[in-house]
Structure formats: structure tokens, C-alpha cells
Amino acid sequence: MNDLDTLVQAAQADFAAARQGAALEDAKARFLGKSGRITELLKGLGAMPPEQKKSRGAEINQAKGAIEAALQARREQLAEAELDAQLQAEALDVTLPGRGRGIGGLHPVSRTIERIEAIFGSMGFDVAEGPEIETDWMSFTALNNPENHPARSMQDTFYVDVKDAGGRWLCLRPHTSPMQVRYAQAHAAKHVGTQAMPEIRVIAPGRVYRVDSDATHSPMFHQVEGLWLGANVSFKDLKVVFADFVRQFFETDDFDVRFRPSFFPFTEPSAEIDIRFGSGPLAGRWLEVAGSGQVHPNVVRNYGLDPETNIGFAFGVGADRFAMLRYGVDDLRLMFDGDLRFLSQFR
Ligand code: DAH
């Protein structure tokens, strides 16, 4: 084997050892580059006698051709390997199951509120929403709460570190009842001077807040306020409407409704509304589901209306309570823990 065969073999071995394009180009430079081995040999020809120069030149060119061919072959190999690796890395296994979007769902309390809105909506009630940060006047004074009423205390109501124009702390509304006042005031303003003012029929669902926390109380919970005010809306109307609501909500006729005398500053007379199912898992027990009463004349005055000609009733239901009764949930905290194992059952 002559020196040129050895050189060609060395180049083939170096090319084979190169695992990447850059290493291969380095190897190429060692043989074919400006000061590569082949180039040096060709330069050396100049010093040779003419007859030797011709045959040696031909041999070197042959070796050069062999090295160039080896280089080209290795380049193709590497390019192919690179493509293979890329295809493998980007391989898409079409047999894998999709990742899915996770079908969301409404929270059971939201579903319940939507249900309550739909039922009262079908009975001609408007749906109103209002602020969760409320003034002291809307929360208490307008609703005929005496100045020293315990509901105003820090132990019962969350206050916000901001005062209203009258210098009173704002609070997180402890009930939805301020919406009676907000809605009725807007209604009165809209119909000022009207001969026969249209009735008010509205429900106002939303979050309320109280300093309270155990298995049956959460510092945030949901109520739906109701107000029906007209020329002569009576307790009898309330009973019919409420019973109809219960019938539609629970999809049963098999229940009794009872009014139990109670006290609220904003109604007179006042009553708790209890229901008792005749069948099903809750059968036989009286369940307290709402507070209610005929709207107190002082409150009607605070609406901006005449209590002689605007008579009616208000009620407040616990939306969480209705959700728990409907879905058979016995711990209120489950509703607000955010545990998907619980929540996903309602989607
Ligand atoms: N606001 C009362 C509460 O949070 C519930 C209530 C009772 C609302 C009687 C009313 C009502 O509208 O007439 O306990």
C-alpha cells in the first residue's frame, strides 16, 4: 500500500468518525483544505522533475477524487441520520388518546340560582343585581333597623376600611335586602308622577357576607331576595307564589308550606316559611327555607313610595340551602371548598 492509499484510508476513517456536520467539515479541512494533506502534496509537485511530476500528479488527483467521494457519501449519511432523528423527535403517536378540554360546569349554587331566576321569571319577576359592598344606610337604616341593632355590630358584619359620604363605614352586604331599596327607589324614580304606577315584582340573587363559620354557616353565602309590591298584594299572594315556586323547584306536589311568626325589622308582620315534604329522603321534617313578611311602612317610605298605596311582601331565601336540599348535600362547606371531586358531579 503506498502513501496515497494510506492517506485515503485515513480520510475515510476520519470521516466515518465524524458524528456531526461540523466535525465532518473539520475533517475535510485536514485533507482538502488550504493547508490540508492533499493540498500540501499538490504544492510539493512543483519541486519535482517533469516526468515524475506527471504520474505523481495523476496519482494525487486520484486520491483526491477518492477522498472527495468519501466526503460526499458521509455528508449524505449524516444528513439522513439527522432527518431520521428529527422525525423521531417529532413523532406523533396518532393512537394516543386526546388530551381533552375538560368540560367545565356551573357550580351547583349557580345552577340553583339560575333555576330560581327561571321560575320567578316565568311568574313575571324581574331579576336585579346590586353591589356587594354596600352602605350602612342601604344595609340597615333604610330597612328600619334601629341604630343599636346587633346586626350592625362588628361581630356580625364585615366592614370595609372606607367610609361613605356620610362618614359611615361601608360593609360587605350581610343580606340581599338592600336590593329591595335600590330596585324600588329606581322604580319609583322612573314612574314619578305616574297615575297608576306599575307593580314591582323582582328577585335579587347574590353573594352576602357575615362573620360566621361552621358546618352550616359560611362567611360568604348566597341569598335571593324577593319583592312584590302593588296596590294590594297580600300574604295570601305570597303563599300562592311561594308554594308555586317550591313546587317547580323541587318538581313535586307532595309538600306543605307553613308560615311561622317571626321578627324582622323591615317587615310587619313577619314570618319564617317552612316546608315539609310528604315523601323522599327529607319527608316529614319541617325545613326552614325563607324569611318573609309584609313590607314595613317605614321601608316603603324609604323606597320613596307611599305606604298607603304600595303594599306587598318581601322574602329572602338561602340559595345555598336550596342547592343542598335539591342535591342532597349535608355540609355547606363542600359547596365552597373548591374540591373538583365534589364539583365535577354537577357538570
Ligand atoms: N334579610 C333577611 C336575612 O338575611 C332575610 C329576609 C327576611 C328577607 C324577611 C326578607 C324578609 O325580604 O321579608 O336574614
The response to whether residue 291 sits with its C-beta less than 6 Å from ligand 1 reads yes
**Pick from 205, 184, 222: which is nearest to 127 by CA?**
205
The x, y and z cell numbers of residue 345, run together, are 358531579
* Nearest residue (CA) to ligand 1, atom 7: 291
Instruction: Indicate if 66 and 113 belong to the same structural domain.
Output: no
Residue 278 belongs to a domain with what CATH number? 3.30.930.10
Alpha carbon distance 125, 271 (integer Å): 21
In a domain, 186, yes or no: yes
The response to whether residue 139 sits with its C-beta less than 6 Å from ligand 1 reads no
pLDDT band at 136 (very low <50, low <70, confident <90, very high): very high
Instruction: Indicate if 36 and 123 belong to the same structural domain.
Output: no
Evaluated on CA atoms 337, 341, 345, 346, the torsion sign reads positive
Concatenate the DSSP letters of all residues of 321-339 into one string.
HHHHHHHT---HHHHHS--
Instruction: Indicate if 51 and 190 belong to the same structural domain.
Output: no
Q: For a substitution probing ligand 1, which of 264, 289, 294, 317 has the most ligand atoms within 8 Å of its CB?
A: 264
Backbone dihedral region for residue 338 (phi beyond 0: left; psi -120 to 50: alpha; all else: beta): left
Instruction: Indicate if 22 and 149 belong to the same structural domain.
Output: no
* Nearest residue (CA) to ligand 1, atom 8: 316
In a domain, 94, yes or no: no
Share of the chain above pLDDT 90, in %: 77
The response to whether residue 177 sits with its C-beta less than 6 Å from ligand 1 reads yes
* Model confidence pLDDT, tens digit, residues 264-293: 999 999 999 999 999 999 999 999 999 999
Instruction: Indicate if 82 and 158 belong to the same structural domain.
Output: no
Q: Hey, what's the torsion of the CAs at 249, 250, 252, 258, to 10 degrees?
A: -90
pLDDT band at 107 (very low <50, low <70, confident <90, very high): very high
pLDDT band at 80 (very low <50, low <70, confident <90, very high): very high
Count of domains for the chain = 2
Alpha carbon distance 190, 50 (integer Å): 117
* Model confidence pLDDT, tens digit, residues 38-57: 999 888 888 888 888 888 99
Residue 10 belongs to what domain range? Answer: 3-89
The response to whether residue 245 sits with its C-beta less than 6 Å from ligand 1 reads no
| Cβ atoms of residues 311 and 190 within 8 Å | no
C-beta pairs of 95-98 under 8 Å, 24+ apart in sequence:
none
Q: How far is the CA of 245 from the CAs of 115, 227, 242, in angstroms?
A: 10, 14, 5
Give alpha helix (H) positions in the chain. Answer: 3-17, 21-32, 37-44, 50-89, 108-122, 136-139, 178-190, 235-250, 297-303, 319-327, 332-336, 340-343
- Please give the distance, rounded to the nearest whole angstrom, from the Cα atom of residue 315 to the centre of ligand 1: 6
Instruction: State the first-to-last Cα distance of the chain, in angstroms, to the nearest integer.
Output: 82
Instruction: Indicate if 84 and 114 belong to the same structural domain.
Output: no
Q: How far is the CA of 100 from the CAs of 104, 235, 273, 339, 341, in angstroms?
A: 11, 52, 46, 20, 18
In a domain, 207, yes or no: yes
Average pLDDT on 11-22 reads 92
pLDDT for the residue 248 = 98
pLDDT for the residue 98 = 82
In a domain, 98, yes or no: no
Burial 328-341 (b: 16+ CB within 10 A, else e): ebeebebbeeeeee
In a domain, 95, yes or no: no
Instruction: Indicate if 70 and 117 belong to the same structural domain.
Output: no
* Model confidence pLDDT, tens digit, residues 215-265: 788 999 999 999 999 998 999 999 999 999 999 999 999 999 999 999 999
* Model confidence pLDDT, tens digit, residues 310-341: 999 999 999 999 999 999 999 999 999 999 99
Length of the chain: 347
Average pLDDT on 15-21 reads 91
Whole-model pTM? 0.72
pLDDT band at 1 (very low <50, low <70, confident <90, very high): low
Instruction: Indicate if 180 and 286 belong to the same structural domain.
Output: yes
The response to whether residue 225 sits with its C-beta less than 6 Å from ligand 1 reads yes
**Pick from 315, 318, 279, 311: which is nearest to 297 by CA?**
311
Instruction: Indicate if 7 and 113 belong to the same structural domain.
Output: no
Ligand 1 atom with the shortest distance to the CA of 177: 1
Instruction: Indicate if 64 and 176 belong to the same structural domain.
Output: no
- Please give the distance, rounded to the nearest whole angstrom, from the Cα atom of residue 254 to the centre of ligand 1: 26
In a domain, 99, yes or no: no
Ligand 1 atom with the shortest distance to the CA of 293: 13
Task: Give the domain-ending residue among 55, 89, 123.
Answer: 89
> Is the pLDDT reported for residue 106 higher than 90?
yes
pLDDT for the residue 267 = 97
Alpha carbon distance 252, 248 (integer Å): 7
In a domain, 206, yes or no: yes
Instruction: Indicate if 48 and 125 belong to the same structural domain.
Output: no
Instruction: Indicate if 142 and 14 belong to the same structural domain.
Output: no
Q: Hey, what's the torsion of the CAs at 51, 57, 58, 64, to 10 degrees?
A: 170
In a domain, 32, yes or no: yes
* Model confidence pLDDT, tens digit, residues 150-192: 888 888 999 999 999 999 999 999 999 999 999 999 999 998 8
Residue in this structure with the C-alpha cell 360593609, named with its chain if needed? 171
- Please give the distance, rounded to the nearest whole angstrom, from the Cα atom of residue 317 to the centre of ligand 1: 7
Ligand 1 atom with the shortest distance to the CA of 176: 1
Average pLDDT on 70-96 reads 91
Largest CA distance in the chain: 135
